[in-house]
Structures are given as C-alpha cells and as structure tokens.
Amino acid sequence: MSLFFRRSISSMASLKKASKVVCIGRNYADHITELSSARPKQPFFFLKPASSILAPGEGPVIRPKGVDLHYEVELALIIGKQVKDLEAEDEKGAFDAIESYAMSIDMTARNAQNEAKKKGLPWSISKGFDTFLPVSQIIPKSAIPDPHNVEIYLTVNDKIRQNDSTNLMLFQIPRMLSDISKVMTLEKGDIVITGTPKGVGSVVPGDIMRAGIKVGGKEIEEGKIEVGVEESTSTYQFAET
C-alpha cells in the first residue's frame, strides 16, 4: 500500500469524524431564483450531520421512500485549525484556516425542505439522511490557487446539469468563515460547503451522478465524484409533519 494511498484513507477517516458540516445556503443568485427563495442580506447557513458523509467507494446514495431527492454540487472547505471570531476583512486568516478542499454533493429531500420552509420547521430531515453528502477525495490546497475562480459541475447519466464558476458566489470565503465563526467555533477537521449554483434537480434510483472541479479548464483528479442512487430498504417513509 502506497504512502499516498494510506494518507488518503486516513484523511477520509478523519473527514468522517468532523465535529460538524456547515452548509452555506443561497450563495448563487440563479439558484435562489430557481427555488423562488429570498436573497439573503448576509451568509445563511445550516448544519448537516457528519453521519451523512459518503466517502468514495462507500456505496450509493440511498433515496428514502416518499422523498423527492435533489442534488446540489458544492465546493467543500476542510478546516485546518480552530477559527473563532474571524473578521471578514482578514482574508489571510480565512485562507490560512483552510487545510484542503473536496467536492461534495449536498443531497436534499426537496419535498421535506419545501414543507419545512412553508411551516417554519427545521431543515434537519431534508438534509440529514445517511449518504446525503457524497464527497470526493481530498484536494490538496495547492491544487486550487484561487477557490473563487474554479468551475464546478455535476452530470446525471452523463448529461450536464450544473456547470458554473465559483466567481458567481454572492458571499466569498472570508465572509462565510467570519459569519460562521462568530456564531460557532470552527474546529480542525470541520467541513464548510460553500453553496450550489443553478441547475439543481431530481435523481431517482438507477441514476449515476458524476461531479468534479476544473482549474483553468483542467480537471482535478482528486475532485471527481461518481455515485449511483438506490431506493432505501428501510421502513421509513417521509410524511408531512
């Protein structure tokens, strides 16, 4: 077993032990429009449980019964040290806090989320099922010189569904990390996913999702995700609250 392979296994194991996964919502204008959501005046965030992380090769995304399952491709930041009360102007502090990157797919039970939005309920069910955060291998920090200028994409059955530049983010990384860190301390190993561009939609059992990232038009191998969708065998069935 190569040293690199051993390191990537241990990095992935530590990823799954993240104390939290913080998700930035509504961070691309066209995505806000497609979901008929309100544009936020400040970064808006929610949590996914670490138990939702699906590492490469761990199996398919499982669609719970009764769920309209949507994909949302996102660039993920892996935090390398404790961050508390960071100021948005402290760009160096923000980027120093990032240890590495990964690609991720924020799987969402859209009908559960829509009900939660309508009734003022938490989003935990819609975002928190096991397998609802497929991730790529760890991307070395050096491979992404400017995380605000990369292309992220997602295909379903080889048809492009999402493909946009991170330069379209409404709030950039220093502002995100600042706002989060003034509410909750970010710890080493935590994951921050930075929002999804337009093009979200449904997947069903049998579909294959592929996602990735390009820097200067060149694909980063470690950022590739390939994952299928299967129907749950659990007795759980989503029903309105």
Any domain includes 189: yes
Any domain includes 159: yes
Any domain includes 186: yes
What per-residue confidence (pLDDT) applies to 10? 54
Any domain includes 3: no
What per-residue confidence (pLDDT) applies to 34? 86
Tens-binned pLDDT, residue by residue, of the chain (241 aa) = 444 444 555 577 888 889 999 999 999 988 878 888 888 899 999 999 999 999 999 999 999 999 999 999 999 999 999 999 999 999 999 999 999 999 999 999 999 999 999 999 999 999 999 999 999 999 999 999 999 999 999 999 999 999 999 999 999 999 999 999 999 999 999 999 999 999 999 999 999 999 999 999 999 999 999 999 999 999 999 998 8
What per-residue confidence (pLDDT) applies to 55? 95
Any domain includes 237: no
What per-residue confidence (pLDDT) applies to 9? 52
- Compute the C-alpha angle 212/217/223, nearest 5°: 20
Any domain includes 71: yes
What per-residue confidence (pLDDT) applies to 4? 47
Domain enclosing residue 96, as ranges: 13-231
Task: Count how many domains the chain has.
Answer: 1
Any domain includes 239: no
pTM for the structure as a whole: 0.94
| CATH assignment at residue 219 | 3.90.850.10
Any domain includes 6: no
What is the C-alpha separation between 29 and 12, in angstroms, rounded?
Answer: 32
What per-residue confidence (pLDDT) applies to 8? 56
